[in-house]
Structure formats: C-alpha cells, structure tokens
C-alpha cells in the first residue's frame, strides 16, 4: 500500500478518485491524509452535490477529495503560477468539475464577490500569515457563504485561534500532528 506522501505526491483517500496520486508543488504543504480522512468524516453528509471553494489550493487535495466524494463543483484559488498550472492540468486530465483561478485568495474574494454562494469552503493558508482572519471577513462580508455552509480552516497547532465572523460558530476542532483542524458553520437560530 502506498504511503500518503511519496516523492512529492499525495493520494486521494476516498470516493471515485480514491488511490490516485496527486503531484505536490515544492512550495505546497498539503493537508496530511489522516487529517483529510477526519475532515471528510465530519463532512460526510454535506459533500454530495456541494459547491466548494478551495482557497490557497496548492495541489488541490482538499477540493479534489471533495469532488471525488460527490461534490458538484469546486473553484480552486491558488496564487502560485507553477502550482496553479499543475492543478489546471489535473482538473483537465481527471475530468472533474472544477475551475482554477490563478490569484491571491484575499484579492480574489474581494473582486469576485456576489458569485455563487458556497456550501463548503476549504481554507489552508500559510501558517502564521494572518490570511485566514482576513479571508473569513471577506467570505462573510461579500456573501460567499450559503445558509448551511461549512468552513474548514487549517492552522499550525501553535497559531493563535482564528476569529470567526459573528454568524459562524466552531463545530469541530482537532489537532493532527502539527495541524489544527477547525470546522465552522452558521449559528443555529
């Protein structure tokens, strides 16, 4: 059985693309397979038919995992030219319902507001960058989040807690290795 990371690759852990290997750009820090498996256990009921947004996509492992498990569509936002090009090739070759935007995540959220409201948003910014808090505000302010949305945030286990927009609450949290996984959703009324 292949390990989750082999020579700059990660494997898709479940769904129709299970076992496929995904090349990881040298600058990317992909979500560990154990963390992805936990995340998709949390999201099991929400993934099928969901419209997803993968910010700071890197290799696209989170969005591709969602598509593999039945998501309807995923928009991948990645600022690195090399990583974005690799991800575009994967989306084309694997023939999945995805679109890759080569852009800075915060700038893209600011300029592209008013688009499709997303059911699931994956956000895995560089640890310690402060970008998660900025992007959370933009997601809420610019109407990106569907009524029953799920927002997945990934941070270093020693990073400060991320302040969520007022209408969101933390649903799940777990530390896996050096990664703090957080799943938020709309507050119940």
Give per-residue pLDDT as tens, 4-18.
444 588 899 999 999
3 or 50: which leads in pLDDT: 50
Element (H, E) at 155: strand 145-156
Long-range CB pairs of 34-37 (<8 Å, 24+ gap) are: 34/4, 34/176, 34/177, 35/154, 35/176, 35/177, 35/179, 35/181, 36/61, 36/62, 36/65, 37/13
pTM listed for this prediction = 0.92
Q: In this predicted structure, what is the pLDDT of residue 47?
A: 97
For the chain, the domains span 9-186
Looking at domain 9-186, which of 3.40.50.150, 3.30.1330.40, 3.90.420.10, 2.30.33.40 is its CATH number? Answer: 3.40.50.150
């Amino acid at each position: 059985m292949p390990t989750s990371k082999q020579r700059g690759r990660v494997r898709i852990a479940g769904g129709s693309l299970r076992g496929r290997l995904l090349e990881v750009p040298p600058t990317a820090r992909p979500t560990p397979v154990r963390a992805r498996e936990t995340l998709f256990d949390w999201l099991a009921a929400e993934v099928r038919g969901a419209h997803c947004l993968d910010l700071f996509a890197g290799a696209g492992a989170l969005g591709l995992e969602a598509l593999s498990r039945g998501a309807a569509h995923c928009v991948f936002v990645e600022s690195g030219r090399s990583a974005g090009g690799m991800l575009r090739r994967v989306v084309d070759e694997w023939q999945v319902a995805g679109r890759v935007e080569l852009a800075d995540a915060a700038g893209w959220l600011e300029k592209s507001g008013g688009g499709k409201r997303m059911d699931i948003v994956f956000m895995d910014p560089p640890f310690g960058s402060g970008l998660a808090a900025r992007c959370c505000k933009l997601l809420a302010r610019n109407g990106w989040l569907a009524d029953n949305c799920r927002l997945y945030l990934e941070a270093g286990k020693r990073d400060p807690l991320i302040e969520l927009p007022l209408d969101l609450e933390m649903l799940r949290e777990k530390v896996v290795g050096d990664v703090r996984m957080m799943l938020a959703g709309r507050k119940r009324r």
